Amino acid sequence: MIRRLQAVALDCADPVRLAEFYADLLGGRVVAHPEDPDWVEVHGFEGTPLACQRVDGYRPPEWPGQERPQQLHLDFDVDDLDGEEKRALALGARVLERTDQLRRGANWRIYADPAGHPFCLCLH
């Protein structure tokens, strides 16, 4: 039987840069592994650790297109959608869709991290 989810791993071209982005976004810390520079983790926040792994020839997902689909995305609960959007953008994210402004009753916005992975900030 599986005990727990150990990590969520994100493919990317620059694992240190992506780990730094998520560490800053989540208030965590970067944990590099000297024996494996292609694998960098983010710890120190509530939830499952994130891992960033270097992939040769990495190509980011295209959202919302399906030529290179997202395959997964991360959702983060926030108390202040505008404030957290401003912080995420300052850290290097980019807006993909402000869903809360397009769909009645929606409480999330969709962004891309510096490596192009979609993630959502969800007001709760």
Half-sphere exposure of 107 (CA within 13 A, CB side): 9
Q: What is the mean pLDDT of the chain?
A: 93
For residue 78, the cross-strand partners are: 123
CA-closest candidate to residue 74, choices 105, 45, 102: 45
Which pLDDT tens digit goes with each residue over 36-87?
Answer: 999 999 999 999 999 999 999 999 999 888 888 888 889 999 999 999 999 9
Amino acid identity of residue 109, one-letter, is R
| CA 36/CA 20 separation, integer angstroms | 17
Give residue 124's pLDDT. 83
Query: What residues contact residue 124 under an 8 Å CB cut-off, 6+ apart?
Result: 77, 78, 79, 107
Give residue 80's pLDDT. 95
